[in-house]
Amino acid sequence: MDVTEFLTWDSGDRSGRNWQLRDGMPEPLTINTVSHGSICAELGALIANHLHAAGSACHAVMYVGVVPGVRSADNARVPTSR
């Protein structure tokens, strides 16, 4: 399966689980929890605060969906409910 197929693919799973494409194969992700979300938010804030304090031109961005530069036709870290 390639990224284009994955983005329109329906797993038939109605649990609300998110999926990603790894090396051409759909892979279920663990179900998000409040603890996981809290950890992600804290890490994002720590990184953003550090960059700001250092006067860096870089900035932290949190968003869903990454298509890596390497093997991008076979990999999509785009968690979506299927």
Helix (H, G, I), strand (E, B) or coil at 41: helix
Q: What is the pLDDT of residues 40-78, one digit of tens each?
A: 889 999 999 999 999 999 988 776 566 666 667 777 766
Of the given ranges (6-10, 70-74, 77-81), which has the lowest mean pLDDT? 77-81
Residues 6+ apart with CB under 8 A from 77: 20, 21, 65, 66, 67, 68
Q: What is the pLDDT of residues 12-30, one digit of tens each?
A: 888 777 888 888 999 888 7
The number of folded domains in the chain is 1
Expressed as residue numbers, the domain containing 67 is 3-81
Which of 60, 55, 56 lies closest to 43, judged by CA? Answer: 60
Note the pTM of the prediction, 2 decimals: 0.50
